């Protein structure tokens, strides 16, 4: 996994250089394209993952899985429609835990389940809040377009400071409890420095794109292919992509249609994040289940 992260560092700075050649609006469009292509790819095989974990003796397991998955997605859509601010908060919390779990799960930290889960949520929140605090104007615009709520910049800052203090306390505890965590701390601080540079130089969308694709989706694909097929190799990656292709195409067509119909930036942001949230909730639960089956 560290080899993937080393490559991610190089590609992250390459991504910053590439976007320096384009105007800001095109950078936003490129971000959406990458998120809905490579980013969505890593969540396109949730049904296959669930089927791999299901009891083959269960009657109609695929139907039950698909039905449950659709119900969760529809529930997320309903929450975002009727209670958009609550939906947005839940989206950030689910995403934070999901990002933190993906980043830390492959390490053998030898700590309690409660401390692991606390690390996942605090670390994931720190990364997201780092992005938010370095791009406050864009965050305020997105939150207002989705929920109508005018977010104060001071709330973004104080939330970041509070979570940073909590994470620092947890880091001190983990340094005393886990030798693996202690040995990986320098690398983790380096990664956070890279994130800071990326988020500071980029727009909100492009900074999120770089993190989401290179630091989350690619490692997640590595884990998923290994879980489903046993090993990560070219043949199994191609098999994974073939299985995901129908969902991938649907996502690309959908985002293209939405962009044509809602070119107005605020409305597009609202629909974009609502869609991402709707698929994030069930996907995060599926990946959590996958990791529990690996241990």
DSSP labels, the chain: -HHHHHHHHHHHHHHHHHHTTS-HHHHHHHHHHHIIIIIHHTTTTHHHHHHHHS-TTSSSHHHHHHHHHHHHHHHHHHHHHH-HHHHHHHHHHHHHHHHHHHHHTTS-----HHHHHHHHHHHHHHHHHHHHHHSHHHHHHHHHHHH-----HHHHHHHHHHHHHHHHHHHHHHHHH-HHHHHHHHHHHHHHHHHHHHHHHS-HHHHHHHIIIIIIIHHHHHHHHHHHHSS--HHHHHHHHHHHHHHHHHHHHHHHHHHHH--SHHHHHHHHHHHHHHHHHHHHHHHHHHHHHH-
How many domains does the structure of the chain reveal? 1
Give the domain range for residue 282.
2-294
Regarding predicted confidence, which is higher, 6 or 139? 139
Regarding predicted confidence, which is higher, 275 or 221? 221
Question: What is the reported pLDDT for 234?
Answer: 87
Is the CA virtual torsion 90, 92, 97, 98 positive or negative? positive
Q: Name the band, by pLDDT with cuts 50, 70 and 90, for residue 189.
A: very high
Q: What is the 3-state secondary structure (H, E, C) of 169-198?
A: HHHHHHHHHCHHHHHHHHHHHHHHHHHHHH
Highest mean pLDDT among 18-27, 46-55, 239-248: 239-248
Average pLDDT over all residues of the chain = 82
Cα separation, 62 vs 149, whole angstroms = 40
Question: What is the reported pLDDT for 57?
Answer: 54
- Tens of pLDDT along 160-175? 999 999 999 999 999 9
Is residue 57 within 8 Å of 244, Cβ to Cβ? no
Highest mean pLDDT among 12-16, 107-111, 196-200: 196-200
Regarding predicted confidence, which is higher, 106 or 256? 106
- Lowest mean pLDDT of 75-89, 182-196, 230-244, 268-282, name the range: 268-282
pTM of the model as a whole: 0.86
In 114-167, DSSP assigns E strands to none
Is residue 175 within 8 Å of 182, Cβ to Cβ? yes
């Amino acid at each position: 996994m560290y080899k993937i992260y080393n490559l991610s560092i190089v590609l992250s700075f390459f991504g910053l250089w590439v976007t320096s050649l384009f105007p800001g609006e095109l950078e936003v469009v490129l971000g959406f394209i990458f998120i809905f292509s490579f980013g969505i790819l890593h969540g396109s095989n949730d049904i296959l993952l669930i089927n791999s974990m299901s009891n083959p003796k269960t009657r109609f397991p695929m139907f039950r899985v698909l039905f449950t998955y659709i119900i969760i997605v529809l529930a997320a859509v309903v929450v975002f429609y009727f209670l958009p601010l609550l939906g947005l908060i839940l989206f950030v919390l689910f995403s934070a835990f999901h990002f933190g779990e993906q980043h830390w799960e492959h390490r053998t930290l030898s700590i309690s389940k409660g401390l692991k889960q606390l690390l996942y949520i605090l670390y994931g929140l720190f990364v997201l809040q780092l992005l938010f605090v370095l791009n406050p104007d864009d965050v305020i615009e997105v939150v207002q377009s989705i929920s109508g709520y005018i977010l104060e910049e001071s709330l973004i800052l104080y939330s970041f400071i509070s979570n940073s203090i909590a994470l620092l306390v947890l880091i001190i505890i983990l340094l005393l409890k886990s030798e693996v965590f202690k040995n990986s701390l320098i690398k983790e601080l380096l990664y956070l420095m890279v994130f800071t540079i990326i988020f500071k130089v980029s727009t909100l969308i492009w900074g999120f794109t770089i993190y989401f694709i290179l630091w989350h989706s690619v490692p997640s694909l590595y884990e998923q292919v290994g879980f489903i097929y046993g090993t990560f190799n070219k043949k199994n990656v191609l098999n994974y992509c073939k299985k995901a292709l129908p969902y991938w195409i649907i996502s690309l067509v959908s985002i293209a249609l939405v962009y044509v119909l809602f070119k107005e930036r605020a409305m597009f942001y609202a629909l974009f994040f609502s869609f991402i949230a709707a698929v994030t909730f069930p996907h995060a639960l599926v990946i959590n289940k996958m990791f529990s089956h690996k241990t």
